[in-house]
A and B are shown apart, each in its own frame.
Chain A
Amino acid sequence: MATDTDTARIEGFGEVSRVRGIIFEYLSLGASVLGIFALAVLLVYVTIDAFDLAGTSPLWLLTYFVTLVVPFLAFCLYSARDREVTRRAVTVAGGGLVAVAAVFTAIETFVGQIPRLNWQLAYLFVVVAPLTGYLVYMGARGRPGAVGFGLVGRLIGGAAIGLAFSVLFLVFDERLWFLAYTLGIVPGLFAYAYGQLRNSSTAVTAALPVSLVGVVLAVFVRDVLRTYPTTTFIYLWTLAIPIAAAGALVVNARGSRTAALAAGGVPLALAAVVGLFGRAIGLGVGGPNALLVIALAGVPVAVYLHRVFDVGEGVTGLGLPVLLVGGALAGALVVETFGIPTPNSWVSGTFLTEAPSRNARDAGLYPAIVGSVIIIAMVAVLSFVLGVATSVFLEEYTADSGVVGALTRLLQINIANLAAVPSVVYGLLGLGLFANLLGFGFGTAVTVSLTLSLLILPITIISAQEAIRSVPDDLRRGSDAMGATRWQTTKNVVLPEAFPGILTGTILALGRAIGETAPLIMVGAATTVFSAPSSLFSKFSAMPMQIYAWANFPQAEFRYGVVAAGVITLLTILVGMNGTAILLRNRAERGS
């Protein structure tokens, strides 16, 4: 600022001490990074503990660093295609190595041993991890990087959603779903499509009643019918085929009919073959879950591939999954050949698929993960419907003045206050209302989901309102001028425009719900269950509940191993959800 430079100097006139200002600036900068720094250090330690990196041989780290990390960073640099970025990355990677090693040795000789940290790990966390983040960010700006990350994201996201679906059918009756789908949803969809094609508003209006009748019919037929197709067939018919059809429709709208057939058909055929005959022909995988995973990852990937080849830019980025898998395999091969000891990581396949145990090495998170997935799915549906409906009412249906206006303001103040009620009080509400008064049972999925839905409802409503408010009024007036009714305007104009924003807000709110523990304790959710729940009214646990239970164990193996692994799992899922939300938001912002 101009005042800081000392100009006219008449016996100290206008002389300003800059020291105070500079100290203050750095103090406030320090304050703003203090919390983040503290959290980063804690996260580093919990990562080290969860993967048992402290006991890992440096050779193992070096192997994977060379086979996996370096090629990945090179890919990012290739995509960024910026000499300056490359120069910076090499300087940081090289200079960081020297600096970290020197500083670390100095601390160890003069101050003392830092527990569970050596200079190799320090280098990984202080230099490589931030550098990777930076390069991913820079790489994603180039076409190959964007394409590669998009592909990997669809593979992982599709597989995760496929697994989540298969988990849902542990408690939801798949046969009832099969009947409801066949008798209700399919006829309803046909009526709707027919109405749209032939311009028959009667058929469109009839779609919803037809579906409802079909679903009710399904409930009655459920116990009458004796024979049902196998689970694999049910998944194929009710999930894989509609997803493939949706993918084909998307491609069809953009391109040719053959491409559409291929984009829908190839993943569907692959899923069907692996799902139905995978085990029989000796693939090692098969069955309903494999079918779901392949279908849910395959169709979006196929649609994406079509788009990438259509645009024709950054096709090299499609090699990223190959690079990653190849790197991992090469690393495994080197480790195997030279007999390098592998770390005894607490996060492992068995941890994710086994039940809890008193023995730390056998302990697993599976029932809690299943519980969390089911709870989150129910909370998502409930809070999305309630949140969108309430915000539509508040934004589109109410007036600003008069009695209705006063009522709206009351609702608005009420929602703001609900958002600040401590979560433990919501737990009491769930306990008193849902568990005891309405008799949904202590700690059942129904009680927990209803409680959590109410808990995040204010956050969902507030963010949905913001999204709806950001839709320009011109669009509404335009629709009104065409003679649209209020609902038609809402459905055809406002909601499609606001949808990405609403979705982002809902996912962020769900992130809050997945980590909530106090309300779960209050409604009596189990701290530990040993088998996955089999119905909506059986005892449930959730990931944070299991972490809470394990944190009370006095053994070091639990404190520094199993709980750390649980924390990492929970945080990974959270990061995945929030990352998706942020990507959606960014895409919507770019699109508009």
Chain B
Amino acid sequence: MTDSTESPDLQRRSGLTRLKEGTYGGFFAACAAITLLTTVAIIVTLLSDAVAFFSQVPITEFLTSTSWSPNPRGGGQTFGIVALVIGTLTVTITAAFVAIPVGTLTAIYLSEYATPNARSILKPLLEILAGIPTVVYGYFALVYITPALKATLFPEMSTFNALSASLMVGIMTIPMVSSISEDAMSAVPDDLRQAGYGLGATKFEVSTGIVVPASISGIASSYILAVSRAIGETMIVVVAMGAQARMPTVGETVLGIPFINPADVLLDSGMTITVAMVQIAGGDLTGGTLPYDAMFALGLTLFVVTLVMNVLSDIIAERYREEY
């Protein structure tokens, strides 16, 4: 705001003008306040129903029980998030196996190797990957990826499975990794590169030995953002992964270390936190029932996890950024 009180009023505004100015200023401030209210509303909505849920289901049971069956018709309801967390982790980790190496290499290529022309073509194309509606990705996974994998690599795969859903989530999050990492790499000053060349380093050594370490905070924060996005991803998983909350069988290797066979979780259907929410929403929405409240408890979990990850990514990007 200008401190107009200290200087003489040169503008000599009429009352009407002042009223007009004040009205517009107030309107803009009110609109800006809506964004703050949205956050408050999200927290209040999630908390109020989640609290109602936790008054009936102890929070320890919610966090440690391994069985999830909300069973809207009543009888034998159990609300244990562990199976859902395993489903979410399966998807997130598999997607990260796709998105992180591909995204990082893409970022290196765009920032270090690509000609300006190639960059101007590749970057918008990569953005398309993030712009395709997720339900379309889910459909692709279900109708094209799964049959293709079934016919070639994994004949024992079931129609709804975690693998094809995760692959699609991975492809969708590539641009998130690549664009943020590339921004970080492009911000590395050219002096460092030239110094590397001066020491006799090859382009490969400069890229991997100088540029990547120098921009590691930005790269790490892009990984966290991509993972956070994968955790919250809903439609791909809903369409392609099915809805079966399963605990994988834990085998033991010779050394006595507990071991989960990846094929067991990847090739079969599973359920993530988001799928569980959508499944409840598909049934009953009138409110007041235990499954309805459970949906908000899951939403709260998701909100907290993604928020923590975003804040973490911000902190890493800010605090560990190399200043040049």
Contact = CB atoms under 8 A, between A and B. Distances in A.
A123 interface: no
A46 B140 contact: yes
Contact of B28 (A36, A397, A416, A522): A397
B64 to A, nearest CB: 24
A417 B307 contact: yes
B278 A522 contact: yes
B281 A522 contact: yes
Nearest to A484: B11
B138 interface: yes
B97 interface: no
Given A28-B108, A411-B35, A425-B232, A548 B239 contact: yes
B232 A423 contact: yes
Contacts of A393: 28-29, 31-32
A212 B48 CA distance: 39
Interface in B1-55: 1, 11, 13, 16-17, 20-21, 24-25, 27-29, 31-32, 34-36, 38-39, 41-42, 45-46, 48-49
B116 interface: no
A485 B21 CA distance: 8
A104 to B, nearest CB: 18
Interface residues of A, number: 95
Nearest to A23: B204
A428 to B, nearest CB: 4
Interface stretch (B77-85, B127-135, B245-253): B127-135
A325 interface: no
Q: Which of A27, A35, A36, A42 has the most CB of B within 10 A?
A: A35
A421 B134 CA distance: 16
A485 B23 CA distance: 13
B174 interface: yes
A394 interface: yes
A176 interface: no
Given A390-B34, A415-B35, A522-B281, A35 B109 contact: no
Contact of A421 (B277, B282, B303): B303
Nearest to A17: B202
A437 B44 CA distance: 12
A327 interface: no
A422 B306 contact: yes
Nearest to A412: B35
B285 interface: yes
Q: Which of B21, B101, B202, B307 has the most CB of A within 10 A?
A: B202
A394 B36 CA distance: 13
A422 B274 contact: yes
A397 B42 CA distance: 27
B51 to A, nearest CB: 13
B228 A420 contact: yes
B32 A429 contact: no
What DSSP secondary structure best describes chain A's contact surface? helix
Interface string A544-588: 100110011000000110010001001100100010001000000
A385 interface: yes
A360 B222 CA distance: 43
A517 B281 contact: no
B202 A4 contact: yes
Interface residues of B, number: 91
A483 interface: yes
Interface in A138-185: none
Given A28-B108, A390-B35, A415-B35, A421 B42 contact: yes
Given A36-B126, A457-B35, A515 B113 contact: no
Contact of A32 (B41, B49, B126, B225): B126
Contacts of B28: 389-390, 392-393, 397
Interface in A437-459: 437, 442, 454, 457-458
Nearest to B24: A487
Contacts, number: 258
Nearest to B11: A483
B95 interface: no
Given A393-B28, A420-B306, A25 B277 contact: no
A225 interface: no
Contacts of B109: 25, 28-29, 31-32
Given A390-B31, A483-B11, A511-B131, A417 B200 contact: no
A77 B250 CA distance: 64
Contacts of A429: 38, 41-42, 45-46
B291 interface: no
Given A392-B28, A393-B31, A487-B20, A3 B131 contact: no
B239 A386 contact: no
Contacts of B129: 35-36, 39
Contacts of A316: none
B320 interface: no
B301 to A, nearest CB: 10
Contacts of A552: 239
Given A428-B295, A518-B274, A457 B202 contact: no
Interface string B221-239: 0000100110111110011
A1 B197 contact: yes
Nearest to A483: B11
A417 B234 contact: no
Q: Which of A29, A30, A38, A428 has the most CB of B within 10 A?
A: A428
A419 B150 CA distance: 37
Contact of A442 (B106, B233, B285): B285
Given A24-B204, A28-B106, A418-B39, A428 B125 contact: no
Contacts of B287: 436
A33 B123 CA distance: 10
B46 A42 contact: no
Contacts of A389: 27-28, 31-32
B195 interface: no
A386 B29 CA distance: 10
Interface of A: 1-4, 14, 16, 18, 20-21, 24-25, 27-36, 38-39, 42, 45-46, 205, 385-386, 389-390, 392-394, 397-399, 404, 410-411, 414-418, 420-429, 431-433, 435-437, 442, 454, 457-458, 461, 483, 485-487, 490, 511-512, 514-518, 521-522, 524, 544, 547-548, 551-552, 559-560, 563, 567, 570-571, 574, 578, 582
7 contacts: A3-B203, A46-B144, A397-B29, A424-B278, A431-B285, A457-B35, A559-B143
Given A454-B38, A490-B24, A517-B134, 4 more contacts: A36-B122, A420-B229, A429-B41, A548-B235
